[in-house]
Amino acid sequence: MTIQINPSSSKYPTKMPTAIFLDSGGVINDNKRRAPQWLRCLGEFFPTTRLGGTAEVWSNANRQIVKPFFSRWHEYMQQATDEATNISNNNDGESPNVAVIFERIHLTEWMKQMCSCAAESLPELKELLPGLSDRDLFLLAKQAYQYTLPRVRADFPGAVDTIRKLSEETLGTGGGSEITKRYRLFTSSGDCFNDLESILKGVDAFEYFEQIYGSDRVNYLKVSPVYYERIFSREGIRVVSRRDASIEEVGTGQEVLVNEESDEVIVIDDSEKALMWARSLGARTVIIADEDVDLSLPHLAHIDYRLSSLSDLPALLEHWKDHFEKENEK
């Protein structure tokens, strides 16, 4: 078990958090373990379609294009944003769902690159490709995802069990009777809802979340604090306003609680940028990293804690609980 605390952050929150937001890839699911399973499933699926070929051809095609494809990820995001803006401007401000547009753009491009690579060893596919529209390719990509996502199981050891326990745990006692209030669990992923549903059902974790948030649920890509603002707003969450400790106050745990009705929120991700956006809104930020991170570095000041895995979260929460119980006894 590993818990690192940023020396420039307060050691404890102002009160126990009630809302916890989890990314999917890198937090719940191990992307490294997903890759070989993903290749296997694509190899099973595509030979059954009109594209033909063999499992080896399609697995190799995806393996060859994956790096150049993901190197243009932000380009696809910008294309989607620009297209959504243009549609909105030309339709009296009617706002299309930018995440749906992004899905169409990147899945179509993924299929184009895959087919181009596979066609080098499939003459019949090379003849077929000119007759396939972008929509044909997009629908094939969607079908591939629908086949693959529920069949890939790559959750980190202990992650689902941790999620289950947190969803069932009560937050203390009061007035001689147990308070039934529990941790509110949410996803905060850049994926779309349907993909997240398939992924989480595939690892038996879907039922433990109060809501599943992907970019399409808030009509905003995970590219700025606006993503989290929209989620918090939809859930009626008023995040505690935070003040970073001055040099003299480092380690004292002094923070400002502006409103007693505000909420302590935890956002857990493997992305430094995502945590920077969440931290700017007042959230407690936790990065998942299997190696030590120097949280004293200035560019990591927005990361409050580092855990080696999601399984370490209960220990951090228990540490906070012990602190508040002792404070209440004073």
Mean pLDDT of 254-282: 83
Confidence of residue 259 (pLDDT cuts 50, 70, 90): low
pLDDT (average), residues 296-309: 95
- On average, the pLDDT of the chain sits at 90
**Confidence tier at 171 by pLDDT (50, 70, 90):** low
284, 304 in Cβ contact below 8 A?
Answer: yes
Q: What is the amino acid identity at position 73?
A: W
What pLDDT, on a 0 to 100 scale, did the predictor assign at position 95?
A: 84
What integer pLDDT is reported at residue 229 of this predicted model? 97
Comparing 174-178, 184-188, 225-229, which segment has the lowest mean pLDDT?
A: 174-178
pLDDT at 163 over 50: yes
Helix (H, G, I), strand (E, B) or coil at 307: strand
Closest CA to 23 of 202, 238, 272, 226: 272
Query: Strands across the sheet with 184-187, in order?
Result: 3-5, 305-307, 284-288, 265-269, 19-22, 184-187
Cα 238 to Cα 72, 122, 214, 235, 303: the distances in Å are: 35, 56, 20, 9, 20
DSSP H or E segment with residue 277: helix 272-279
Q: Cα 30 from chain centroid?
A: 12
Question: Which residues 6+ apart lie within 8 Å of 264 measured at CB?
Answer: 13, 14, 15, 16, 17, 18, 19, 239, 240, 284
| 290 vs 139: which has the higher pLDDT | 139
3-state DSSP of 3-66:
EEECCCCCCCCCCCCCEEEECCECCCECHHHHHHHHHHHHHHHHHHCCCCCCHHHHHHHHHHHH
**34 within 8 A of 151, measured Cβ to Cβ:** no
How far apart are the C-alpha atoms of 237 and 259, rounded to whole Å? 12
pLDDT(1) > 80: no
| Cβ-proximal residues to 54 (8 Å cutoff; 6+ apart), any chain | 43, 47
pLDDT for 243 equals 57
Per-residue confidence at 176, pLDDT binned at 50, 70, 90?
very low
**pLDDT at residue 92 in the model:** 75
Is 241 or 165 the better-scoring residue by pLDDT?
165
pLDDT for the residue 242: 67
